[in-house]
Structure 1
Amino acid sequence: MFLLALRRTLELDPAYADGFYERPPVKGLTAFATIYAGWGTSEPFFRNEDFRPLGSRSTEEHVADFWEPFFLRCDANNLLSQLWTWNAGDISANSTYGGHLEAALGAIKARTIIVPIDNDRYFPPVDAHDAIPHIPQGKVSVVASSWGHMALMNPGDIPAIDAPLRELLAG
């Protein structure tokens, strides 16, 4: 639903013109940025005002200062291509695995660690916990961060993210 909402915000902007736009669909890109902001971090990020160290004084200011400038520089058709890729990215959707995700995961031979962020709304820990029993040498290490999917942008979260990766590489 998240990906559909993002797609619709671009496609429903009249300036988008079915992808043949003469000028960027600014209203659609601005709405896209706002939706992304709500998913990119987390409810605790906004509730605790964790955006303040970034210089924003309010939620709306954070969206205007951080998210909108990024997405207003993006090409709408490129964003839609990324959404399509994300939506279609299924390692089991091929003749080898015939849509059987567990079989595709079971074919992973490398030692694997999935490091989800507890507040990541895109890739919540439950998805990692569902996948890992099917990966022969797999492990999950959940990292706590109000930054959600954007935890890699928070210098304070880097040590917790790096620790399981170091363990994997050392092993």
Structure 2
Amino acid sequence: MFTFDVFLHSPALTTSTVYVLGAVAGLLAAIVSNVPMHRLPEGSTPPFVAAGVLTGSDPEGVDPTLASGLHYAAGILAGVFYTAVEYGIEGLTPPPELYVGGTQLPLLTHLLALLVTFVFLVGFFSYVVLPRFDSLSGSYRQIRRDWLVTATTYVLGLGVFVPGFLRLLI
């Protein structure tokens, strides 16, 4: 569990509040990740590919509103995933000595949870979702590279928003 010893025992920051915080941070990080997504040659392809997998249609035939909605929903879910990983790591590690400035968020746990989230995002999309479309096989390399940049931006955003929200709640 998060080492919010004081906070977890207060009504202000319950476990469900921490998950909501992760979801909101994930949504904001998804918004930030739009910057590289829309500037890279294949940056906006991943939401269309994911929507294509969910609808069983070709990514080029996916409604842009659906792809955009899925992008934000995935950002929210990745924020919740980060929170679950953070809880899991903290439950397995000794009490921390370093915290993210002004919060009770263990620095090492935070960084490890961000790394696990990044590896999951990149690996799941690149090697489970994307290969479902052979029609894109000529672009796999560029799509993966652009997704790597976008996922990096997402995780960096998450890495800033989570402690930022915690500071607001203290």
1 or 2, which has the higher helix percentage?
Answer: 2
Rg: which structure is higher?
Answer: 1
TM-score of the alignment, normalized to the shorter chain, above 0.5? no
TM-score scaled by structure 2?
Answer: 0.30
TM-score scaled by structure 1?
Answer: 0.29
